[in-house]
Amino acid sequence: MARTELKLLGAWPSPYVMRPRIALNIKSVDYEFLQETFGSKSQLLLESNPVHKKIPVLIHKGKPICESLIIVEYIDETWSSGPSILPSDPYDRAIAKFWGAYVDEKWFPNLRILSTAEGEAKDQVIGTIVEGLDLLEDAFVKISKGKTFFGGGQIGYLDIAFGCYLGWLRASEKMSEVKLLDEAKTPGLAKWADTFSSHPAVKDVMPEVDKLVEYGKSLVAKYRAAKAASS
């Protein structure tokens, strides 16, 4: 595939941008990565995703596809001769999508809340995050059936959906000085996290934790400044 036929609009700290990058790596598909500058959106982004104006956006032969998990499904269906990302059984697919929606809607937002939480509120959100990880540990045990990944022997949809958050999970642990992913409590997930992060399709697109911590701290500082200014 000519590089010009496939572009991905994204930004290095975004977990959502990681998702199509991993999917394209799994399929061994080459693409042009266009980095958006934080704080200003390119003309191409505004034209390609006028509804949400958000990254990632995959542009394939001039046609844009938006929303990270929808992009992952598109990649799986379009490059169907490569390794499969979604399971083939309809029920297994539904389960993978269920947990993908769970991490996006219920679990990850708590990491953002944690970054600026203090005192009792901080303890409470830590509890929520850890409870979520317990649920995900159960899901991992059931879905992986003793294999390495949620997808079995290979990385699949749910590995990608949840695994993209590992960078920020580790960054949050450093920023808030708390252990969230505990191998004593969730041994399956702890092992999976290491294996996933070092997988060839993942390791080059997983942002470094220290860079995320630096970026995260700058976001928190901006939030606090804005809050102080408005009070």
CB 123 to other proteins: min, Å: 23
Q: Of these, 46, 70, 220, 226, which contacts other proteins (CB under 8 A)?
A: 70
Which 109-128 residues touch other proteins, going by CB under 8 A?
none
Q: Which is nearer to other proteins, 63 or 145 (CB)?
A: 63
Three-state SS sequence of the chain: CCHHHEEEEECCCCHHHHHHHHHHHHCCCCCEEEECCCCCCCHHHHHHCCCCCCCCEEEECCEEEECHHHHHHHHHHHCCCCCCCCCCCHHHHHHHHHHHHHHHHHHCHHHHHHHHCCHHHHHHHHHHHHHHHHHHHHHHHHHHCCCCECCECCCCHHHHHHHCCHHHHHHHHHHHCCCCCCCCCCHHHHHHHHHHHCCCCCCCCCCCHHHHHHHHHHHHHHHHHHHHHHC
Q: Of these, 67, 137, 159, 173, which contacts other proteins (CB under 8 A)?
A: 67
CB 13 to other proteins: min, Å: 22
Q: Which is nearer to other proteins, 67 or 173 (CB)?
A: 67
Q: How many residues bind other proteins (CB under 8 A)?
A: 22
Binding flag, residue 73, other proteins (CB under 8 A): yes
Binding flag, residue 134, other proteins (CB under 8 A): no
Q: Of these, 6, 8, 24, 65, which contacts other proteins (CB under 8 A)?
A: 65
Q: Which is nearer to other proteins, 29 or 135 (CB)?
A: 135
CB 71 to other proteins: min, Å: 7
Q: Which is nearer to other proteins, 189 or 206 (CB)?
A: 189
